[in-house]
Amino acid sequence: MTDKKLKVGIVGGTGYTGVELLRLLSIHPNVTLTAITSRGEAGLPVADMFPSLRGYVDLAFSDPAKSNLSDCDVVFFATPHGVAMSQAQTLLDANVKIIDLAADFRLQDKAVFEKWYKMAHSCPEVLSKAVYGLPELYRKQIKSAQVIGNPGCYPTTVLLGLAPLLEQGLIDFSAPIVADSKSGVSGAGRKAEVATLFAESSDNMKAYGVSGHRHHPEIHAQLTQLAGNNQADADVQFIFVPHLIPMIRGMLSTIYVKLSEKAKTIDLQALFEQRYQHERFVDVLPAGTLPETRSVRGSNQIRIALHKQAETGYLTLVVVQDNLVKGAAGQAVQNMNIMFSLAENTGLEVVPLLP
């Protein structure tokens, strides 16, 4: 990568992940924001909608039909499912790289995508070449990718929490993996909806998607792939229950796994520390401690704690992240850095906000 700045476009810049991308990219030293599209807000200065960006972003939203995204080096899609795949081939033909923050390129199985998202996949040939954008697992593939399916927020916590165990074949699959996950209200997106009104979500907590959540097949597919690398006959059973909690941003996943006999002879704390020792954005906490969501607020950091349940043979993992940063926009920028051979932490050295 030369010193030339990347020309970056964002499709769908009016949602929470869109404004988070703008926050991070506006001060990225290797980026020139070139286009930010919105059908409904075309012509409106970005800073008029998001006052926090005043003095940082001087662009106005543009109509997607009139934005020349083909001039960009990379385009981020912070849009509903289905939008990125409708434009992907045109951009690829213009040698533009794509990072999709929706689900269009997360699931390699077209039939599974269509079952869960209730729409036909319009570019399976692009899907087959897309890379799942979890840097700590697929850095080499991301580096040479043209299309990235940015992981979902819940999957990021679950997969990074479990990866060291799966890579070493340390889970007993006779019992299901259970993930009890909780997200702030921003995970539902920036839209008018009764369930996310202040009077509905404040002073309240609830489970949702218990009988089936769209992130379930994404997590299951990745768990199966990771497990299969060491246990060809692994039959991964996975139970996932998401919850909405009364805060704006943040995510906490508590994960329960039954350990294999092999795992009982291994120092798991040391295993996790060694696995992530060179990962700038994964922090394995000291034994006996517990992470809090406020310890990662506004940052691209993910923190993991291990607690062995000696009498049951289970391990409890507690994982926290900011759902809008490492769970979405920050991870997308991390992927961009890798794709263009920039230092992976460029533009992402944000100290968490506290209090």
Catalytic residues: 153
Angle of helix 153-167 versus helix 135-143 axis, rounded to 10:
100
**CB atoms near residue 265 (< 10 Å):** 7
Cα 2 to chain center, whole Å?
28
* Tokens representing residue 324 in the block: 């809008």
Residue found under tokens 């289970």: 314
What single string gives the DSSP state of each residue in 239-294? EEEEEE-SSSS-EEEEEEEEBPTGGGGS-HHHHHHHHTTT-TTEEEPPTT----GG
φ/ψ (deg, to 5) at 210 = -65, -35
Torsion of CA 172, 167, 219, 103, to 10 degrees: -170
Amino acid at 165: L
Q: How far apart are CA 257 and CA 308, in angstroms?
A: 10
* Tokens representing residue 39 in the block: 């059908």
User: What beta strand segments (E) does 78-126 contain?
Assistant: 97-100
CA distances from 211 to 134, 195, 201, 216, 263 (A): 26, 18, 21, 10, 31
Nearest Cα residue to 10 out of 55, 54, 57: 57
Helix, strand or coil, per DSSP, at residue 329 = helix
Residue found under tokens 């997969």: 159
